[in-house]
A = this chain, B = another copy of it.
Amino acid sequence: MTDTLKLVSCNKSFGGWHKRYAHHSSTLNCTMHFSIYLPPSANPEARVPVLYWLSGLTCTDENFMQKAGAQRVAAELGIALVAPDTSPRGEGVPGDPAGGWDFGLGAGFYLNATQAPWSAHYRTHDYVVHELPALIEAVFPVDGRRAVSGHSMGGHGALVCALRNPGRYRSVSAFAPIANPVNCPWGEKAFSGYLGPERSRWREWDASLLLASAEERLPLLVDQGDADDFLATQLHPEALRQAADKAGYPLTLRLQPGYDHSYYFIASFIEEHLRFHATALQD
């Protein structure tokens, strides 16, 4: 499988290695980039667990690695970090016909599109849950212990990936997730496009609705800034809270005073998320 990967760049970081790769994704029918951070302790005789990080609207695989400051703690804890891109890319991959930044390129919403022309490429759920981990676990000194986290659209992605796939992850967390996408403008635009107008088909991609009937109980941590410009219109953490209360799901939801939607918010709390995941990953 190694020959399917093309190394794009490589930087030493906190004694470990940050690497960027290109590869052909059969799920997405295009060339994709991802970034991986391997802590100094990772080697074939001492494989490490992986935290998958799903970024938000307009991001690529690079934002988290450059801005979150996660490598220091990942190096200390012996956790690999993997950041995929946020949508299929490249020639032949359609973007938003309206030219928006909240649909299409950079806005795959971590779901499997059912509507043409999106369904030919926009299957980012299967990519981040199945194809990418299979590749990562075949090539790098990691094992099958997985956790998932993300921000905004990627927070929605992390929650949905965990809730739809019992047994695949040991823990899940999110920063300012789009927690109830069937009830917000970003979600309604994306789900209408990718899944079609029939709202009943949207339910299986909504974290708050999925949580209500979840089979598995995972450690679940959500941080939300109370000065986030998108909180009132797009994010709806209260829907997640209500679903968790109703289902008896062990959700830790923290409202962080003064924090906004930016990577400055993520950087401020990423250490706590990594330590939260480390506890579950190292059990």
Chain A residues with CB under 8 Å of chain B are: 11-15, 18, 66-67, 69, 71-72, 225, 227, 258-260, 262-265, 267-268, 271
Measured in the bound complex, the distance between the Cα atoms of B63 and A66 in whole Å is: 10
Measured in the bound complex, the distance between the Cα atoms of B263 and A262 in whole Å is: 19
Q: Name which residue of chain B comes closest to A18, CB basis.
A: B264
Measured in the bound complex, the distance between the Cα atoms of B114 and A187 in whole Å is: 57
Q: Could you tell me the dominant secondary structure of chain A's interface residues? A: mixed
Q: Which of B13, B263, B265, B271 contacts A267 (CB 8 A)?
A: B13
Q: Name which residue of chain B comes closest to A14, CB basis.
A: B268
**Residue contact A11 to B69, C-beta cutoff 8 Å:** no
- Cβ of A225: which chain B residues have Cβ within 8 Å of it? 12
**Residue contact B264 to A11, C-beta cutoff 8 Å:** yes
Q: What's the number of copies of this chain in the assembled complex?
A: 2
Measured in the bound complex, the distance between the Cα atoms of B258 and A265 in whole Å is: 30
Q: Name which residue of chain B comes closest to A75, CB basis.
A: B268
Measured in the bound complex, the distance between the Cα atoms of B202 and A222 in whole Å is: 55
**Residue contact A11 to B265, C-beta cutoff 8 Å:** yes
Measured in the bound complex, the distance between the Cα atoms of B227 and A141 in whole Å is: 23
Measured in the bound complex, the distance between the Cα atoms of B260 and A131 in whole Å is: 31
**Residue contact A267 to B71, C-beta cutoff 8 Å:** yes
- Cβ of A18: which chain B residues have Cβ within 8 Å of it? 264
In the assembled complex, the CB of A151 is this many whole angstroms from the nearest CB of chain B, namely 14
Please list 7 pairs of residues, one from A and one from B, whose beta carbons are closer than 8 Å in the complex, sorted by A's number: A11-B264, A12-B227, A12-B265, A13-B267, A69-B69, A69-B267, A72-B271
Q: Name which residue of chain B comes closest to A11, CB basis.
A: B264
**Residue contact B66 to A259, C-beta cutoff 8 Å:** no
Measured in the bound complex, the distance between the Cα atoms of B227 and A25 in whole Å is: 32
* Besides A13-B267, A13-B268, 6 other A-B contacts (C-beta < 8 A): A11-B262, A11-B264, A12-B227, A69-B69, A72-B268, A72-B271
Q: Name which residue of chain B comes closest to A10, CB basis.
A: B260
Measured in the bound complex, the distance between the Cα atoms of B265 and A15 in whole Å is: 10
Q: Name which residue of chain B comes closest to A258, CB basis.
A: B12
Interchain residue pairs A-B with the least CB separation, the first 10 = A69-B69, A11-B264, A13-B264, A12-B258, A12-B259, A14-B268, A11-B262, A66-B67, A18-B264, A11-B260
